[in-house]
Structures are given as structure tokens and as C-alpha cells.
Structure 1
Amino acid sequence: MTECIECGAQINIPNGAMKGEIIDCPECGVELEVVNPQSGELRVAEVAGEDWGE
């Protein structure tokens, strides 16, 4: 278990999670990227912006 960076809720990193995998916080819904599955290190996932042809 680890804590959400945004709200502090407890998050269970699934067994077999890999570096770079995206998981959602069940409390606040923020998307978190797994940095290190062994230590439970997470960071807020970067959202690739769309340019919609502009």
C-alpha cells in the first residue's frame, strides 16, 4: 500500500504492476504513474495535450 500524492488516500498497487503503468486513485480520481513498483513510489501522470489540428 502507498499513499495518493494528491489526497493521501491509501492505494493498493496491483501485483505485477510495471514501471510506467497508470493507476487511478479510488478517492480523488487522479491518474498516477508507477515510478517504482517495489517501493510503491508514484507520481502524477503527465497528460499529453491534444492540439486538435491547431
Structure 2
Amino acid sequence: MASCPECHTEFSAPNVSTVSEIIECGDCHSELEVVGVSPLRLATAPEIEEDWGE
């Protein structure tokens, strides 16, 4: 079981196996990054920023 850092809904994600994997909260639809797998720990996924060719 893990808790969404945005809406605090608890859910299980049995198919998660790697750190840095992105999953979606089924309740608030936030993108979450897996930061630990045993136990499952989640954080809000970082926003992808444009680099404009830099």
C-alpha cells in the first residue's frame, strides 16, 4: 500500500517494480514517481520542462 502525496488516497500498485517508474493516481489522476519499491513510496512526478535547444 502507498499513499498519493497529492490527495492522500491509499492504493496498491502490484505491477510497480522499478524506482523512477511513473504511475497515475486512480483518484486524482496525478502523475507519481516511484521513489522506493520495498516498501512502495511515491512522490509527485517532476514536470518536464522545455530546453528550447539549449
Identity of aligned residues (%): 42
> Following TM superposition, where does structure 1 have runs of at least 4 consecutive aligned residues deviating by more than 6 angstroms?
none
Q: Is the 8 A contact 1:18 1:37 kept in 2?
A: yes
Equivalent residue, structure 1, for 2:23: 23
1:42 aligns with 2:42: yes
Equivalent residue, structure 1, for 2:13: 13
> What's the TM-score once normalised by structure 1's chain length?
0.79
> What's the TM-score once normalised by structure 2's chain length?
0.79
Segments of structure 2 that go 5 or more residues without pairing to the other structure are none
What is the number of equivalent residue pairs in this alignment?
53
- AA aligned opposite 2:46: E
Segments of structure 1 that go 5 or more residues without pairing to the other structure are none
Distance in 2 (alpha carbons) for counterparts of 1:47 and 1:36: 19
